[in-house]
Structure 1
Amino acid sequence: MELKVVKASVEKGEGLGWGKSLLVPSIQEILKNDSQSVPERYIQEPKDRPLISQNLFDSLQVPVVDFSMLAQKDANEIRKLDLACKEWGFFQIINHGVREEIMVNMKAAMAAFFELPFQEKSKCAKAANEIQGYGQNFVVSEKQKLDWCDMMFLKTFPHETRNFKFWPLTLPGFKEAVEEYSTEIRKVSNKIDANLSVLMGMDENGLKRKLGEFQQGIRMNYYPTCSRPDLVLGISPHSDGSLFTLLLQDDEINGLQIKHKEVWLDAKPIPNSLVVNIGDAIEILSNGMYKSIEHRAISVMPGDEVQIGPLDSMVNEKHLPRSYRNIKYIDYIRQKFAMKMQGKAHTAIVKL
């Protein structure tokens, strides 16, 4: 299992929603009837199947940033963060201040949800033109290959974006675990915002002043055991449309892979750490200085009505000319959700 917290910046009105996705069967339910076969629709094309990282790169490790040192404005740690955003688009953070008990409770709540009978989980099923709830996103064709994954997505901040009809409120402890974890992760997110703002030539409140109140959502991913893991992908290669994503991995399972210099590498879990990856919105705001990179396996997002485009502080017509056009965030997300997950193809929407 895997937990992603996404950070974006969002809306007040109902609008048209973020997108829609075709309904697909639960892979958990399929496996209850036949745990040994892999349905054809889940078998990836040979070129898309999981690759084992080459021996030459086995020793490479996703950069590790000590959050306690960042809080002290340690110059070396700030430099590590800057290089991680430029060269990797991913980093792991340690000493982030979220108590281990809170992370354990969140993992337990997620596991309890996916252990519910299908009829109970279905009460939280996604609605049309809605990304919240139990189901799948980015399914745009009946012929599309499917991910070996069931998922649940919930908006957690601001409070008015929550829709409790998608929450399993009768599951003991679930709401409390999500709220406590979300609150603590929000504190971490705010510190990341502040550091990225400074690195992009602004003061610590620069991003919030530019984008307004950020949205936060949690995606819970469940990856069942597969009899032929060499044929399937838990999540297709993609970059995130958010500002950035915080990922809580299972310490015992090495499932996340990131694309670094055209090679897929395992992101080896560090106990009690959080993985952070830069999203498309930060790539656009930084004028391509910081990269959202492909990965497969909670996010932070701007507001729906916010215009995103290169920050003035990240444009230098002589050395770093503008590479992206301005676009309303909700328009970018709607176009993204209208496509299947396909690497970074959707960022071409805003490239000049």
Structure 2
Amino acid sequence: MSPVIYRAVMQARVANIQALRGLAALAVVVCHAASRSGLDFEVGNAGVELFFVISGFVMVKALSNPDLFLLRRAARILPLYWIVVLTAFAAMTIAPGMSDVRPDFAGSMLLLPLSSDNRILAVSWTLTHEMLFYALLASLPRERAIPLATLAIVALVAAGFTAAPQSPLLQAATDPINLCFVAGMALANVPRGYAPTACIIAALAYFTAIQALSIPASESPARILWFGPAAAILVYGAVFSPLRFRALERLGETSYSLYLVHIPAMKGVAVAFAWLGLGYPNAFWLVAVSTLVGTGMFYVLEHPMIQFASNLAPPRIRVHQLHRLPDRHGAVDRIPQDEGRAVLYRESSLSR
């Protein structure tokens, strides 16, 4: 594989991962908007499984420098999260009747596992899972981190089925949804793809069928079986597919802001509509305003934070790993050292 082709392949993979982030965030937003409007978009909950598979995939790519990765992830995730939590907590304090949550401020700020009654931000449970996964990988020897993390997650999930833990921490650690991280790590080590576009079509058709048949998959104890494999197949297809999904790529850039702020934004839209005497907003308004607020927050807050996180330290390149790379047929070519730096730098944007 020539350096030019390899660079194009890596750029396409980064772009498609970003597009999947956009799809996952949009699915969750539409799901929550539909439920608040008396509609059903049950399958949108699968966006969480999709996020977790992506995280497993990306984390493997960052193992060459896990300390720097964790520093950058914390610099990107936590400040924006804290801003949203503080704003939501202030709103709960000023107008306590707007929410029936008994907020645990310290636990929410620290992303501790909390019950739904104590979370200031409803979606924070997913970030708790992400942080537990990052911490697990960072605590393991780098050379054996993937197999050891896989064994640990599988063992914890198995223990959860037998012990039925009651504490929020043990429930989070043993939740079967963590198997999505394992799927993502496995995908990161697949050398080449077979029929990736067909995999994308099959996964999307499967999710469409779940919605059309009104299967309550997200409420099922077997949720991971309903959503996890299809999410992994979708990531597999997108990583290897030559297709590009440019509209979703743009949404993917703002996906974290949108994911964090969409529920507070929906509550704000409902309050505004009630104050104007317009009744309760329909799903269109909830999605539209949430997307606008999320996009605005990305450009005003998140994007400057990303720039800051990127400048914390230069990426430490392990160029020797890029000197010999398998092409799609399994053959091996050498890549010049400078070209290898450029390729890996672009690939490192997966983690930002």
TM-score (norm 2): 0.24
Structure whose residues are more often strand by fraction: 1
Higher Rg of the two aligned structures: 2
Structure whose residues are more often helix by fraction: 2
TM-score (norm 1): 0.24
